Structure 1
């Protein structure tokens, strides 16, 4: 386990996206400030969080079943079983996973993320996606970047505002991946429910959390130069490959998987 900077203390006076997400998923590793943000969100928030998590499971399992055995998961969040490594190591016990998050409470729970199969391996680095080179430097010590890697950015980039150059961040990460790698990305949107935009952004703004939900075309830009896997950039329940179709629900998330050429 590695930390990019000296370990900060958990600030229980300010909400954090990872802990709000934990609350939306029904977890208990959150504080009153996180629950306050979550309670201000419409029911759509909980449904979207659940759908987002289910997409991560389906996409990771599909990649593992098609030969990918290395995963770099940025914005990991608080461990919620099954975690990514549990999903992929059921299919390929030799899979190796690097988890990354910038919330100190995730680091405190990282032991749950490090229980690997004997044949495979997991690692954790405390870092911020806005420092992609630092993440890559660590990932290269654990993963073999001469072979395909699946980069997972699930429900993360909508917390990176435009002024932080989200597209440049993703490009830096993707450019480091060898041919045959994949980008797995999900992102919040108000395309389907513009009426809740003020409610959602207001809840996060009052908590001091940057939130920038994006349109279909704006999310699609993250995949520029990559080959989107069918069915393309779709809503959470619409992405599935070799599993039964998920139940269709209202949602506020775009998801996609793309191959690096």
Structure 2
């Protein structure tokens, strides 16, 4: 826009503003000095006051009417409608709760058993240990189904053995398996003594859900397992004699007699080996 056109617009605006002010000033005195007798004026004033009071009464009553209408509308809702709203909101609350309780997983804690294998990776072998302490978490990737009686065999999570060439001769171990019926993992204390298997009894088995974190402590006195408020302790059998000179930490192992039917993952955190010597 050119400077001349801008000046024209600005000047026109000022003229319009001045004309409006002049009209307002001219009309104001005429309205206040309008002719009429005293009775007409009084009637007029009384009518205006009555109208004003009526408007105020209407203004005061309007909110109450709206509140009553809102209450009536809410009262007309059926219990089924309210329940439907609650059900619609529940999945969002549950999904947020699940997300908040989902455990953080460190890739360095991952233990993997490859399909068709029994030995787990990475190696966890450490010599001269007196104790194995840590925690573990099973996930959906830990579930398996052998479709035979080997499903009830116990896998070896960790522990201590005293015979290198025959780890199943004398050993203290944490055992685990997946129960396809309950869809829960089961953990329990497990011993080898003179090649005999001393497996967990029914009252020594703890059920652990997916993503449930449990702890363990294996030492020369026995095995302690804990999940939540459930604790199981089983002392060493009378004939098992620990020997630190030949002691080593057992590597994770699938089975039992069957190999892993699929690649299996879980997470385990172990106390640093130099603190277990």
Higher RCO, 1 or 2 (CA under 8 Å, sep at least 6)?
A: 2
Structure 1 or 2: more strand by fraction: 2
Over alpha carbons, which structure has the higher Rg? 2
TM-score (norm 1): 0.22
| TM-score between both structures, scaled by the size of structure 2 | 0.21
